[in-house]
A and B are shown apart, each in its own frame.
Chain A
């Protein structure tokens, strides 16, 4: 079709306006819709695998296969759910709404296409590398440095395409949805780049440039704001488009939009440290996390209120329209999760909830309820429209709604219960001052039934998604895809005279670049005040003289620990609670982590904390336990790691690793990269001797096992948390 022909129409008496004809690009919307659905199913399927692995560790489907072990499956699930499912959902909604809100086609079809295929390639690379154990070991940022660079480039392409589209708009003011899109784009860019700074060792291996406490602070500044600016703000933008469209009602309050938008992006960025309460992070930073989380309730609820109150006068439609049902429950789930989040950020509540399944339940209210249901609502609304037809079956969509809702409830409620139960058991003392449940495993066995219910809840939710896919496929087969949707609008006049008495905020709504910069400045304020002091003020991390860098063998073992994703189930952070110091030993100090690139504090204790596991058991115990966890601890749900006993430890990168660590400030002596391999062999021989002396290995076995990965892992585990013990003994 010919682009932009013009004609003259009489819009108002006496004024001739050139009306331009153009078309909206629905192809890119459809591509992202398909990707959203496919990756959504994939991500949820992987989540289901993880859920069943926790109750059936020896099912025979995944045990013994390193690529499928829980520690690698879980990052695959979180990355797929966040960046593949929700990510594509964001782009689908943005590409649909942006064109219509600005009365223009996307700036460049080529950029749209590069964005789409680039993003899918990144997802594919994640799908390949994460099961292979190629990971940075930082939660929700596991992808290695070459992929990080690719993400940055694709994100720039997306931003360029979006910004150029905004600049060539035919609408004078930009709508609140687009404010959220702009803030999302600029903040995610900052978060991703700052958190992903790493020192490459090889193409598939790098170390975070930050260590210990600082790494933790940067990581959770990132992790929390990935939730804020990837799972929340873009979806609020989508809510502001699709809720009023689907309900055919005006947005409830313009001034509420303004206030909650600016308050939300400013306050959100500060709240990250609430993931690190009672850790070795300085107290002042923890408290900032708490108070900013509490201040977040109102700005978050502003979005919920504006969404729900927009439905005033349209509530009767909710009864019949599955789209509105999904949107309403999504917004309600958003309200629940954003109230619960600040409650969990209060230290005394967090002391109970942290490291338990309460957190897992909480985030799934957000992802399954808010992100999932909003995405489904948008798909049900948008697919019939771009196919110029009606939804095949409203009944089936309603059934999807109910089975999905039931799935969420059956997922979340058992996990809340599991979290409370387990936390209580961890903390219970008897009258003589002894831990009642001194065997961690007892507290795990208690909640296995809840894990079963969670797996069933997740299954229900996924069944609902399959119902949707069927419904939508039949819908598309009944309609005709409108790749180019014709539209027309008057061009923007060159000069704009602002109306008298117009709202002050209209000024910045005409200036997208200024809005982008204003958003950037706001999020940088919180970023600066939170991150800078821990880097600039030395006494935030008191040094401990006895803390030494890892030996080469331990360093290699640590990389195996990271590769296996042990941090997905084991924390390395003993909090200063009597119940933890009695169970694990001395609480963790900031100065103990100065050489930890990256930090491995973890966020969930499916198994016990490991920070003080060093020297607690014999080498033989670890040897047998990694080979057959249930042989040592009947009922344990830890996977076995038989491949560690077959794989030869790859030392080819060792000199590179030592040099990388040196350049990050780890004080290995000059020229140590050359000696490292020899020292590694000596220490490995000592470990093997221990195993022989303890009767675990005979001579032949010792010969065989000497150069295997398990030896390095044992050396690492036996070192953990022992440096300050050495100090105590020396005194």
Chain B
């Protein structure tokens, strides 16, 4: 009799779900959510989803505890060979159940037996649980109010307007960024970085985004070999920066300026130039013109020639 009831076991096995959710919450709480209105919104939505999920779990748990109590008392009643009776603590299951469902107690259910008999199945005619009934009414009211707020003539909400509002907020962030950008590096001011930290950053970006076409070691593939001294669009840091920034769409080179910041493009550009002469295996044959560092004249000509 004193075995752990099945329901408690189910709930115990569900516990990891709660912990997982809590863990995620903690994880996201560390993220710099407040920096950006979009992130903040998502953060709030996520938290509320998790709260809803946790509330569901909690509710289920509460119901199950009550059910467990019911199981125990029913079993006791059955064991003692008498009608189900519960000792009356302050907050008994039968009281709660009665309040929640307005159910006719099991021992008096003959009063509400409909007299139906389908293959031995009888039907009682208990009241609709009040919370269920009023919950249904509330959901219908919710539907009416929702449609009124969003779609009644004069209320011109639309998902596209919502999007435009979101983009307007983003514009502010972008404008600030543009101000910063004016002070940052561009294709005219960019310089070659040689410090290990910058090159390491550049390597990470390269591996994630560039290696797909240029090979893990810059040996070339879909895109040209970046380790030989031959360049299609110029081999100075300014040329490389410019090619990364604007791309060469007609040849399949993507413009990266919407995804990489200038300092990142500088880092990855510097990393690419650090690969010169590394002679990786499976290198693609040279393409373009020979570029000689320190020959500014050539550089100028090539830049003009390719744009």
Contact = CB atoms under 8 A, between A and B. Distances in A.
A384 B37 CA distance: 61
B279 interface: no
Given A256-B128, A439-B209, A292 B38 contact: no
A433 interface: yes
Contacts of A149: none
A283 B222 contact: no
Contact of B121 (A175, A263, A420, A696): A175
B258 A417 contact: no
A493 interface: no
A435 interface: yes
Contacts of A439: 208-209
Contacts of B139: 294-295, 297-298
B17 A295 contact: no
Given A297-B139, A433-B170, A435-B259, A416 B71 contact: no
Contact of B122 (A171, A250, A312, A336): A250
Interface string A532-561: 000000000000000000000000000000
A663 interface: no
Interface in A278-317: 278, 283-284, 286-288, 290-292, 294-295, 297-299, 301-302, 305, 309, 312-316
Contact of B124 (A253, A576, A587, A695): A253
B124 A696 contact: no
A291 B71 contact: no
Interface of A: prevailing SS = helix
B151 interface: yes
A262 interface: no
Contact of A432 (B67, B157, B180): B180
Interface in B130-162: 132-133, 135-136, 139-140, 142-143, 146-147, 150-151, 157-160, 162
Contact of B14 (A101, A175, A409): A409
A347 B162 CA distance: 12
A420 B49 contact: yes
Given A340-B56, A434-B259, A616 B84 contact: no
B123 A409 contact: no
Contact of A286 (B35, B123, B159, B177): B159
Nearest to B259: A438
Contacts of A253: 124-128
Contacts of B249: 615
Contact of A319 (B39, B71, B84): B71
A173 B121 CA distance: 13
B28 interface: yes
Interface in B225-279: 249, 251-252, 254, 258-259, 261
Q: Chain A, interface size: which category?
A: 35 or more
A100 interface: yes
Nearest to B173: A433
Nearest to B101: A309
A239 to B, nearest CB: 12
A109 interface: no
A570 B42 CA distance: 23
Contact of A254 (B31, B49, B116, B261): B116
A100 to B, nearest CB: 4
B42 to A, nearest CB: 5
A299 B222 contact: no
B301 interface: no
Contacts of A301: 132
Interface string B53-79: 100100010000001001100110010
Given A171-B118, A295-B139, A420-B46, A409 B16 contact: yes
B126 A283 contact: no
B307 interface: no
A657 to B, nearest CB: 30
Given A252-B124, A298-B135, A431-B173, A694 B222 contact: yes
A442 interface: yes
Nearest to B42: A427
Contacts of A175: 116, 118, 121
B111 to A, nearest CB: 12
A343 B180 CA distance: 42
B201 interface: no
Given A251-B122, A336-B60, A428 B31 contact: yes
Given A283-B159, A416-B53, A432 B177 contact: yes
B81 interface: no
B6 A101 contact: no
B294 interface: no
B91 interface: no
Nearest to B137: A298
B65 to A, nearest CB: 13
Interface of B: prevailing SS = helix
B114 interface: yes
Contacts of A624: 221-222
A556 to B, nearest CB: 23
A292 B143 contact: yes
Contacts of A438: 209, 259
Q: Chain B, interface size: which category?
A: 35 or more
A542 to B, nearest CB: 12
Nearest to B114: A254
Contacts of B99: none
Contacts of B42: 352, 424, 427-428
Contacts of B32: 431
A424 to B, nearest CB: 6
A95 to B, nearest CB: 14
A250 B20 contact: no
Nearest to B49: A349
Given A305-B129, A329-B10, A424-B28, A316 B213 contact: no
Contacts of B119: 97, 100-101, 103, 241, 245
Nearest to B9: A402
Interface of A: 97, 100-101, 103, 171, 173, 175, 241, 244-245, 250-257, 259, 263, 278, 283-284, 286-288, 290-292, 294-295, 297-299, 301-302, 305, 309, 312-316, 318-319, 325, 329, 332, 336, 339-340, 343, 347-349, 351-353, 401-402, 405-406, 409, 412-414, 416-417, 420-421, 423-424, 427-435, 438-439, 442, 503, 576-579, 581-582, 587, 615-621, 624, 631-634, 694-696
16 contacts: A101-B119, A244-B121, A254-B125, A295-B142, A297-B139, A298-B135, A313-B74, A336-B56, A413-B17, A417-B20, A439-B208, A576-B159, A620-B252, A624-B221, A632-B222, A694-B251
Closest 6 CB pairs of A and B: A618-B252, A298-B136, A576-B163, A291-B143, A250-B122, A253-B126
Given A315-B71, A332-B60, A417-B24, 7 more contacts: A288-B147, A292-B143, A343-B49, A417-B20, A438-B259, A442-B208, A617-B252
Interface of B: 3, 5-6, 9-10, 13-14, 16-17, 20-21, 24, 28, 31-32, 35-36, 38-39, 42, 45-46, 49-50, 52-53, 56, 60, 67, 70-71, 74-75, 78, 84, 101, 103, 106, 109, 113-114, 116, 118-129, 132-133, 135-136, 139-140, 142-143, 146-147, 150-151, 157-160, 162-163, 166-167, 170, 173-174, 176-177, 180, 208-209, 211-213, 216, 221-222, 249, 251-252, 254, 258-259, 261, 284, 287
